[in-house]
Amino acid sequence: MHKLAFIGFGVVGQGLAEILLEKKKELRNEYGFEYSIVAVSDFKKGSALLAEGLDVAKLLELAGKDEISDYPGAETGLDALQTIEKSGADIIVEVSYTDIETGEPAYSHFKAALESGKHIVTTNKGPTALFFTELQELARSKKAHFRFEGTVLAGTPALNLAELCLAGNEIREIRGIMNGTTNFILTNMEQGKSYEAALKEAQELGYAEAKPDADVEGWDALAKVVILSKSVMGVDVDKKDVDRTGITGITLDDVKKAKADGKRWKLIGRVVKEGGGVKASVGPEMVDLTDPLASVGGATNALTFVTDLLGEVTIVGAGAGKVETGFSLLADLLQIHRVT
């Protein structure tokens, strides 16, 4: 029985909780995976700790009203660090908000969890991009697992594909569409919509980061490029060494011209092995329509892995969304379950 504590219980955390509730039987019967959610702490919605396990349906109902602290019989009023310390959980689901500049407060949550030997599953890009090497070493020294599939392409298996299925290949380059909001904007501009109207729609659909710059200036894609470089290629690239340009300089005219030339603008994140290191970049590129990345429209993401044994492998799938990102955490939980 895996004991889970959630740090943060927004859209993604609730997405995982809903999946765990709906698939409880299948997870037990098909994978031998059994769980109990022993604690939740969300800085807006409240906290609850119950050693015998929280009822997930009740928890979701209270979370919907920002009233987790009203959970009957639970210990409440615990912040994230107190929850990690007192919950008795063996796996921390860290899904608090992401800060790509400092990584906090999630960085402190990660360290507290790993130092006490707890496994982490997370979708939190900030601390994963900024402190990957240190966190990975800490996890190893404590024999804990640190898994972060959902930081890149939500539940679409980008990192697990590289780690598990492409093992044995040398991965020479990874390039792709790593940000749904900008792809949605560019696709809509091609259909004649203005940049502003398309951004507004992406915000309403819930893809966009809290600060639009994070998407449109390429910071979100940059975090993903850094995570891919460190975790898949083993090269510790600093975010200031990534060449970064967003999509704000692309006009409707540019989009029309590209279309007339049989091309499409895409915001491409790229990491290429070069001279013992890597060259990493994020920037708009005119992609030829014959490239698999050209046909990926809307908020969908895609990655092409350039490998030595298999040639080019492209995956296309969701890069955001409640269930899609919730699933990434389930994939990580099942992987921990397999190997522990």
Catalytic residues: 224
Contact 12, 123 (CB under 8 A): yes
In the complex with ligand HSE, the residue whose CB is nearer, 110 or 207, is 207
Q: CA–CA separation, 142 vs 114, rounded Å?
A: 7
Per rule CB under 6 A, is residue 180 in the interface with ligand HSE? yes
Half-sphere exposure of 243 (CA within 13 A, CB side): 12
Per rule CB under 6 A, is residue 220 in the interface with ligand HSE? yes
Closest to 129 (Cα-Cα) out of 161, 160, 151: 151
Contact 271, 233 (CB under 8 A): yes
**Pairing of β 277-288 and β 263-274:** antiparallel
Q: In the bound complex, what is the minimum distance in angstroms from residue 115's beta carbon to ligand HSE?
A: 27
* x-marked contacts with ligand HSE along 150-179 as a string, rule CB under 6 A: -----------------------------x
In the complex with ligand HSE, the residue whose CB is nearer, 145 or 224, is 224
Binding residue for ligand HSE, selected from 42, 149, 215, 332, defined by CB under 6 A: 215
Q: In the bound complex, what is the minimum distance in angstroms from residue 217's beta carbon to ligand HSE?
A: 12
Q: CA–CA separation, 127 vs 77, rounded Å?
A: 25
Per rule CB under 6 A, is residue 74 in the interface with ligand HSE? no
Closest to 120 (Cα-Cα) out of 85, 95, 86: 95
Q: Where in 126-155 is the site for ligand HSE (CB under 6 A)?
A: none
In the complex with ligand HSE, the residue whose CB is nearer, 87 or 182, is 182
Identify which range of 6-14, 71-79, 110-118, 203-211 contacts ligand HSE by CB under 6 A.
203-211
Per rule CB under 6 A, is residue 209 in the interface with ligand HSE? yes
Closest to 272 (Cα-Cα) out of 294, 295, 243, 299: 243
Please name the residue that has the structure tokens 């392409």: 153
Q: CA–CA separation, 23 vs 28, rounded Å?
A: 9
Q: In the bound complex, what is the minimum distance in angstroms from residue 15's beta carbon to ligand HSE?
A: 13
Q: In the bound complex, what is the minimum distance in angstroms from residue 168's beta carbon to ligand HSE?
A: 29
DSSP 285: E
For binding to ligand HSE (CB under 6 A), which residues are involved? 179-181, 207-209, 215, 220, 319-320
